[in-house]
Amino acid sequence: MKPIQVGLLGAGTVGSGTFKVLKRNQEEIKRRAGRGIEIAMVADIDTARAREVAGEGVKVVSDAREVIANPEIDIVIELIGGYGIAKQLVLEAIAAGKHVVTANKALLAVHGTEIFAAAHARGVMVAFEAAVAGGIPIIKALREGLTANSIQWLAGIINGTTNFILSEMRDKGLDFATVLKEAQRLGYAEADPTFDIEGVDAGHKVTLMSALAFGIPVQFDKAHIEGITKLAAQDIKYAEQLGYRIKLLGVTKRTAKGIELRVHPSLVPSKRLLANVEGAMNAVVVHGDAVGTTLYYGKGAGSEPTASAVIADLVDITRLHTADAAHRVPHLAFHPDALSDLQVLPMSEVVTSYYLRLRVADQAGVLAKVTGLLATAGISIDAVLQREADEVGGEGSTQTDLIILTHDAREGTVNDVLAELQALPTVLEPIVRIRKEELS
Ligand code: HSE
């Protein structure tokens, strides 16, 4: 049988890896797919680069619309990124009856509802394994492997750049800005790292996983997003002394009130496997009612790891494209007419535990006042650590750090009590609040 014909939009790092892996493993991939898979056409504004990536026998064009218009092409791989032209091209490819494979988490997290609806109406597949955690088959796991489960929660380290930075901050005791510069020099962080360090990239990924886990529409606009730019080396050190590591987590949970959907730095107990995911690696923990807790670990980015996910999608589509559209795996794991209207909760309704650091005057009654206000708000304390004033502010210092770990509390209640604590004359600096996930 003639190989299925693929058109590639964007011949960058992942496109290059896709060519290499498809070529290297072509026989095995064919035995799995039941048919050869051939990238017949590549579009990139840099045609010289595209020609180099594609090699002989592949048509190279500068206009992506030539690929979409080609009736021979069955599948379009979109590796352009962003919400601009990529959105137009994906919608045009769908309208032209092409199946789409994309690594574009931003596009799907923000415009997924429109894109999946268009694909459903046209009877084509939009596959996006490469959009979340690179080479880790987490989309496959959520959509198929865990399909028997009522998924309760998932939490992931889903941004390698920030995990690299946090690992370096902990290992070397350096501050954020210094490590960011080093990460940029080593190529771990982009020249403009905003999406990574502000948690937006992780927000896109957890939004997609939340939709798959709970059968809700993709709702990036409802996600609570905080990055790592304000994290101090001091808090990483204190957390360590209390038996925790700080990780940027994407968390989504089913609760009686609705769905939690959030990205923020979190204390994770050092003994948890997730706390020991270091450097640029990614990992996702998923808890299902039947299976219990499962862990998925691997490279979240890079040429061949991401190509591994792109090609897995190509194989899936090759196997399924002749199947009746109604009998394919639904894009978001649940059939589109069976999505849930469970609401994504505002952050004030999230219930979690907290690390609080207060720089206070080292005088009688301060600790009692602080714990008293927490008690009045109904917030239970799990642990307290107080440093010696000399250690914190140098010899003769009259200030100290008070570190408090709380049990679970409602975020809105914590916000209120933090405002009261901040107003105390003995609280000398802005209070640091970092959420804590026990993941048990
Ligand atoms: N920039 C991402 C990361 C990889 O650092 O993990 C692509 O999503």
C-alpha 186/C-alpha 189 separation (Å) is 8
Give the residue, by CA position, lying nearest to ligand 1 atom 4: 301
Residue 115 in this model has a pLDDT that exceeds 90: yes
- Six-digit token string for 336: 């589109």
Whether the CB of 135 sits within 6 Å of ligand 1: no
| Domains of the chain, CATH where assigned | 4-136+303-337 (3.40.50.720), 138-299 (3.30.360.10), 351-435 (3.30.70.260)
8 Å CB contact between 115 and 94 = yes
What is the per-residue pLDDT for 188? 82
Q: How confident is the model at residue 109 (pLDDT cuts 50, 70, 90)?
A: very high
Residue-wise pLDDT tens digits, 345-399? 999 999 999 999 999 999 999 999 999 999 999 999 999 999 887 778 788 889 9
Ligand 1: centre distance to CA 193 (Å): 10
Whether the CB of 201 sits within 6 Å of ligand 1: yes
Whether the CB of 101 sits within 6 Å of ligand 1: no
- Six-digit token string for 103: 């690594």
What is the per-residue pLDDT for 400? 94
Residue 435 in this model has a pLDDT that exceeds 90: yes
Whether the CB of 228 sits within 6 Å of ligand 1: no
Q: Is the pTM of this model over 0.85?
A: yes
* pLDDT above 70 as % of the chain: 100
Residues with Cβ within 8 Å of residue 29, at least 6 apart in sequence: 22, 37, 311, 315
For residue 60, report the phi and psi dihedrals to the nearest 5 degrees: -110, 130
Interval 30-49 mean pLDDT: 97
To the nearest 10°, the Cα dihedral for 102, 108, 113, 117? -10
Give the number of other CB atoms < 10 A from CB of residue 383: 12
Ligand 1: centre distance to CA 73 (Å): 29
C-alpha 274/C-alpha 295 separation (Å) is 8
Whether the CB of 161 sits within 6 Å of ligand 1: yes
Interval 269-277 mean pLDDT: 98
To the nearest 10°, the Cα dihedral for 73, 74, 80, 83? 120
3-state secondary structure of 351: strand
Residue-wise pLDDT tens digits, 164-209? 999 999 999 999 999 999 999 988 888 889 999 999 999 999 999 9
The one catalytic residue among 98, 205, 247, 253: 205
The question of whether 172 is a catalytic residue gets the answer: no
Mean per-residue pLDDT over the chain, rounded: 96
